[in-house]
Structure 1
Amino acid sequence: MDSARTADIERSRRIIASPRARRALRQRGIDGATLRGSGPGGRIVAADVPLAAPTARSATQCTSSMRRAIARRTSESWATIPHIVLHAQADASALVALRAEVVQDIERRHGVRPTITDFLLRAMMISLGEHPRANRVWRGDELVALDAPAIGLVVGLDDGLAIPVIGAGADLSVVARARDLAVTRVRSGGAAASQPCASSLSNL
């Protein structure tokens, strides 16, 4: 008999509890050795069990390759790139009104329904095109300029995150279609595009 089994038996012998109390302890995951019952001689009775806290158990979960990659890249980013945090608020009422005005026409002509996210992606692409020095990425010890604006879109999945890259679109409908295809691909288990991007957007 192994030592763990022997220890369990010895511990159970030290626990003085009624059959109902023992059953309740097992169901709730409570170690009866940590309790002193209210019955004669410290006997644990069923009424004592609901008053006790469940025994803490460590939970170990194998991580997916996606989670490991996210953790690795996030750690690299924080360790190697200076970070500046800016908090700001914006009045988006005009943007919401613009979308309401054009969404049906775009859907009728192009078969895609742009979201607020698509408007933001398009605005970021325009800004990167106007400010090419911001459209660069770190590679080792060098800043490398990218050929065209592209935005990484953070997408929530059941087991983590994915960041498909949305390439520059000629107009809003192209951006919307690219976003829809990219999100559908990663959520169905496909790989996110591996092209680099200097900026990312999240609305999680």
Structure 2
Amino acid sequence: MPVEIRVPPLGESVVEATVGRWSKQQGDAVKKDDVLVELETDKITVEVAAPADGTLGAIRKNEGDTVGVNELLAEMEAGAAAPAAAEEGHVASVRYEEKAGAAAPAESAPAATATATAEAGSADAPTSPAARAIAAEHGIDLASVRGSGPNGRVTKEDVLKRIEDGRTAAGAPQRESAPAQPAAPTAKPATPAQPAAATPAPSVNGDRPEERQRMSRRRQTIARRLLDAQHSTASLTTFNEIDLQQVMELRKRRQDEFVKKHGVKLGFMSFFTRAVIGALKTFPRLNAEIQGDEIVLKHYYDIGIAVGAEEGLVVPVIRNADRRSFAELEKEIGELGKKAREGKLTLDELQGGTFTITNGGTFGSMLSTPILNPPQVGILGMHNIVERPVVVNGEITIRPIMFVALTYDHRIVDGSEAVRFLVTVKQLLEDPINMLIEG
């Protein structure tokens, strides 16, 4: 009896996904826990794995299709050694991984059967399921791939880089496009079909190559939310500059002791987070949201910290940030940033938030106007630190200056309130001892 592969639960409030790349094709032999297909949600990519050994049968959903929870994706025939639990209606096991970024091109459709070389190599080093699947498609020995993940773990990106390096070395840097549609339930072609518009094709004059890439579900969501933010809020941005001399001297003076005691460095984000919380307590409308014709003032402080990931910006949230010490903030900010880069953030870590901080300075930005993250009504933009000449006590001196920007929803936050909020952040950072005294 065929085993049904269905869309698993996708997380709280997530009801649909987009079918991504099929790692296996109809008729392929699969082992238990082999990744069959990727499902793209707004936030993360869900890997659907085989529940048993067997053969993949009819594929019911093609790449790009929108599917709902429990919708039929494919069927497979369980092998003789398949576990008894593999029966009709069984939902395939699931892994959650961050989708690889646009810098890693989508691969072409897999060959008729997966090679055994990659499976043999995977026994010698820790690998992700996606890495094993892609390596199997391209006949790559995983033992020859250097892992960049924790404990030398070979990631999907490592395998994709190995493939790209191999193409470049062979003098064929041309990038392949998204996989072809799954084959019909007839005999499989010996060579995977390549869509006519798949590879960059030269125009009439032969010197203007183009390439089309399907926009990922997360990128579509980012685009939609940014437009919604512009259309549904009365956004305005105010600016100021902060002299970080005292913060830098405090960090330098206490860094060794802090690291020795807490096992983590004292960075800038904990200072900015505490300064923002202090200002939010003074100006609570910036920690609110609009619901219909009511203003909901929130007396808790869940601070979102924007992190640049491969596929796009994500904003993991630190819950009850006002109750965290500097060390606790630094540890959680570091852990969330690492999980974002490795694609291990959960949906719960990405939901909610009452105010957001984004740091464009890590990329060298001098000044920008951040966009609101609705339903939040405030976002603080940090920028790079530059030594600038300033006047202090009537004398010109060089100080480390950062420009900061506060974007706010003018529907409930007045301009004077926003300016004073930013001035409060400035004052707390220019005299950071106050934050330490207040705990």
Partner of 2:334: 180
On the 8 A contact 2:314/2:350 being kept in 1, the answer is no
Tell me the CA shift for residue 186 of structure 1. 2.0
Report the equivalent of 1:198.
Answer: 355
Q: Distance in 2 between matches of 1:194 and 1:107?
A: 31
TM alignment of 1:26-41, pairs within 5 A: 34=205
Residue by residue over 1:93-150, the C-alpha shift from the partner in whole angstroms, topping out at 9 and shown as x without a partner, is: 2211111122222222222212112211121122212322221123455432223122
Opposite residue 179 of structure 1, the aligned amino acid is I
Query: Counterpart in 1 of 2:400?
Result: none
Q: Is the 8 A contact 1:135 1:146 kept in 2?
A: yes
Give the aligned residue type for 2:224: R
SS at match of 2:231: helix
Residues 1:63 and 1:128: Cα distance change in structure 2 (over 3 Å): same
Distance 1:202 1:165, change over 3 A: same
Q: CA deviation at 1:157?
A: 0.8
Gaps of 5+ in 2: 1-200, 363-439
- Map of 2:325 onto structure 1: 171
Amino acid at match of 2:262: H
Give me the whole-angstrom Cα distance separating, in 2, the residues matched to 1:156 and 1:185.
12
Please give the alpha-carbon distance, in whole angstroms, between the structure 1 residues aligned to 2:358 and 2:350. Answer: 15
- Assess if the C-alpha contact under 8 Å between 2:277 and 2:301 holds in 1: yes
Between the aligned partners of 1:89 and 1:56, the Cα distance in structure 2 is 45
| 1:80 partnered with 2:232 | yes
Matches within 5 A, 1:1-204: 34=205, 54-57=207-210, 59-167=211-319, 168=321, 169-189=323-343, 190-191=345-346, 192-203=349-360, 204=362
- Measure, in 1, the Cα distance between the counterparts of 2:243 and 2:265: 23
What is the DSSP-based 3-state SS (H/G/I as helix, E as strand, rest coil) of the residue aligned with 2:313? strand
Q: Structure 1, residues 7-46: CA drift from partner, whole Å, max 9, x if none? A: xxxxxxxxxxxxxxxxxxxxxx755x64xxxxxxxxxxxx
Mapped to 2, the partners of 1:142 and 1:199 lie a distance apart of 22
* Matched letter for residue 119 of structure 1: F
Between stretches 194-203 and 116-125, larger displacement belongs to 194-203
Letter in 1 for 2:327: S
Deviation at 1:182, TM superposition (A): 1.5
Q: Distance in 1 between matches of 2:251 and 2:223?
A: 36
Higher helix share: 1
CA contact (8 A) 1:121 1:201 kept: no
CA distance in 2, matches of 1:185, 1:30: 40
Higher mean displacement: 131-140 or 64-73? 131-140
User: What is the CA distance between 1:179 and its match in structure 2?
Assistant: 0.8
Cα 1:99–1:140, aligned 2, differ >3 Å: closer, same or farther?
A: farther
* Overall identity of the aligned pairs, in %: 23
C-alpha distance in 2 between matches for 1:113 and 1:83: 35
How many pairs are equivalent?
157
**TM-fit CA distance, 1:176:** 0.8
Contact conserved, 1:137 with 1:198, CA < 8 A, in 2?
Answer: no
**Residue type of the alignment partner of 2:207:** P
Query: Could you say what secondary structure the match of 2:236 adopts?
Result: coil
TM-score (norm 1): 0.67
Cα distance in 2 for residues equivalent to 1:161 and 1:184: 14
Moved over 6 A (4+): none
Residue ranges of structure 1 left out of the alignment (5+ in a row)? 1-28, 35-52
After alignment, is 194-203 or 150-159 more displaced? Answer: 194-203
Task: Tell me, yes or no, if the aligned pair for 1:125 and 1:150 is still in contact at 8 Å.
Answer: no
Which letter does structure 1 place at the counterpart of 2:257? D
Distance 1:193-1:159 versus aligned 2 partners, 3 A rule: closer
